[in-house]
């Protein structure tokens, strides 16, 4: 399977747009996963802490491999505070004990808490090369979200935005809301991920607000309305990283959250991590995302399908919205 070209394949500087990829899995420690990354893409392995590694200077940049649990890693802020204050020896011992305890927590939860690989931004045309890494993870015993009811592992895509204009951002948000049910069916979202709040759908009332043709906000209003309706990072399409990049002063209390990393990307959280399935690949998930970009880029079609969405959801139809989507996507 080849990655499909998005409507805007290159940046304004003429470079291929890039995609950041994050994948979670169980039953394989970060150290072993880092070695697999190095074996596929080169670079040097640096151990940053007992359960966090960096594979530096690969041909694409730096990979991070770690247990996906905050309390399994040293508290860097505590160390910085201790070093800056010149506290007494007992304060330094306290900080050391605190971080040793965190390392032990990491040892204890390593079979339950997922390992996460965070890839550097990769040109969309090269995404297929990641599948060799996913094959290696599977062969080494890594387990994905379908292998246990305790697992709710995801594959996150962070496609570089084709434009930072408010109109473009709103168009992509509208296109995503229209296609969300089709994406969920195509991906076949794992039941554990459906129950847990990691990739929740957008509230219906918010979707109706955004798809209304009279809703033409400036960037500040778009950000504020989004935050009011979605006071959580756990949306299937998380716009907080993009908003924090575009207007960092808009919501300082929210954007100060260290988990929100400002970047000019759409943080697409919906896909399962299921590399144990022989017909699954990161390219397949990218190609589904491209359908969102195609709809966003077609102004007339986007307006037509937004009107259909509004008409459908303002009444009590006998047919489901998903039935309409299936017909459209089949004809595409």
Q: What is the DSSP string of 213-240?
A: TT----HHHHHHHHHHH--SS-BSEE-H
Say if residue 274 is in the same domain as residue 125.
no
Give the angle subtended at the CA of 15 by the CAs of 261 and 246, to the nearest 5°.
30
Residue 76 has a pLDDT of: 56
Q: Are 264 and 241 in contact (CB under 8 A)?
A: no
Calpha distance 143→138 (Å, rounded): 7
Residue-level pLDDT at 219 = 97
* In a shared domain, residues 302 and 289: yes
CB 125 within 8 A of CB 18: no
**CB-count exposure of residue 223 (10 Å: 0-12, 13-18, 19+):** buried
Does a structural domain hold residue 44? yes
Is 270 part of any domain? yes
Helix (H) or strand (E) holding 40: helix 30-41
Tell me, yes or no, whether 278 lies in a domain.
yes
- Determine the pLDDT at residue 316: 64
Token pair in block for residue 78:
């505590």
Q: How many domains does the chain have?
A: 3
- The encoded tokens of residue 160 equal 């570089």
Note whether 74 and 38 are same-domain residues: no
Shared-domain flag, residues 172 and 58: no
Q: Residue range 181-194: average pLDDT?
A: 87
Q: Do 78 and 172 sit in the same domain of this protein? A: no
Determine the 3-state secondary structure of 19 from DSSP.
strand
Do 64 and 209 lie in one domain? The reply is no
Instruction: Give me Rg for the CA atoms of the chain.
Output: 21
Q: Out of 122-126, 142-146, 198-202, give the one with best mean pLDDT.
A: 122-126
pLDDT of residue 318: 59
In a domain, 151, yes or no: no
- 58 lies in the same domain as 75: no
Tell me, yes or no, whether 326 and 183 share the same domain.
Answer: yes
25 contact partners, CB below 8 Å, separation of at least 6: 114, 115, 137, 142, 143, 144, 153, 273, 275
- Are 93 and 188 part of one and the same domain? no
CB of 230 closer than 8 Å to CB of 203: yes
Instruction: Say if residue 42 is in the same domain as residue 74.
Output: no
Q: Are residues 91 and 49 in the same domain?
A: no
In a domain, 138, yes or no: yes
Residue reference for tokens 């195509």:
186
Query: For all residues of the chain together, what is the average pLDDT?
Result: 86
pTM of full prediction above 0.75 = yes
Query: Would 264 be classed as within a structural domain?
Result: yes
Secondary structure (3-state) at 116: strand
CB 99 within 8 A of CB 79: yes
- Domain region containing 285: 157-332
Per-residue pLDDT of 88-114, as tens digits, reads 554 555 445 444 444 433 443 455 578
Residue 252 forms part of a structural domain = yes
Asked whether residue 104 falls in the same domain as residue 119, the answer is no
CA distances 125 to 2, 108, 110, 290, Å, are 8, 39, 34, 12
User: In whole angstroms, what is the distance from residue 241 CA to residue 265 CA?
Assistant: 7
9 assigned to some structural domain: no
Q: Token pair for residue 288?
A: 């589904």
């Amino acid at each position: 399977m080849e990655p499909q070209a998005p409507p805007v394949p290159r940046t304004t500087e003429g470079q291929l747009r890039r995609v950041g990829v994050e994948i979670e899995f169980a039953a394989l420690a970060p150290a072993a996963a880092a070695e697999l990354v190095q074996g596929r893409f080169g670079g040097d392995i640096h151990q940053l802490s007992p359960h966090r590694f960096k594979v530096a200077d690969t041909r694409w940049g730096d990979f991070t491999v770690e247990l996906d649990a905050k309390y399994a890693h040293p508290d860097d802020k505590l160390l910085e505070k201790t070093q800056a204050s010149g506290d007494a020896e007992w304060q330094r011992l306290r900080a050391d004990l605190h971080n040793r305890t965190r390392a032990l927590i990491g040892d204890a939860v390593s079979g339950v808490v997922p390992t996460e690989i965070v890839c550097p931004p990769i040109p969309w045309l090269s995404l297929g090369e990641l599948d060799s890494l996913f094959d290696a993870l599977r062969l080494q015993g890594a387990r994905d979200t379908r292998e246990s009811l305790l697992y709710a592992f995801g594959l996150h895509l962070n496609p570089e935005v084709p434009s930072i204009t408010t109109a473009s951002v709103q168009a992509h948000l509208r296109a995503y809301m229209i296609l969300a049910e089709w994406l969920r069916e195509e991906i076949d979202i794992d039941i554990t991920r459906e129950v847990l709040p990691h990739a929740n759908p957008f509230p219906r009332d918010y979707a109706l607000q955004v798809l209304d043709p009279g809703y033409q906000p400036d960037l500040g209003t778009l950000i504020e309305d989004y935050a009011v309706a979605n006071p959580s990072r756990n949306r299937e399409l998380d716009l907080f990283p993009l908003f924090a990049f575009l207007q960092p002063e808009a919501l300082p209390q929210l954007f100060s959250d260290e988990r929100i990393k400002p970047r000019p990307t759409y943080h697409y959280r919906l896909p399962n991590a299921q590399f144990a399935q022989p017909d699954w690949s990161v390219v397949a998930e990218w190609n589904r995302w491209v359908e969102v970009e195609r709809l966003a880029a077609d102004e007339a079609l986007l307006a037509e399908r937004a009107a259909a969405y509004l008409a459908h959801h303002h009444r009590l139809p006998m047919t489901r919205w998903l039935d309409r989507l299936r017909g459209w996507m089949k004809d595409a």
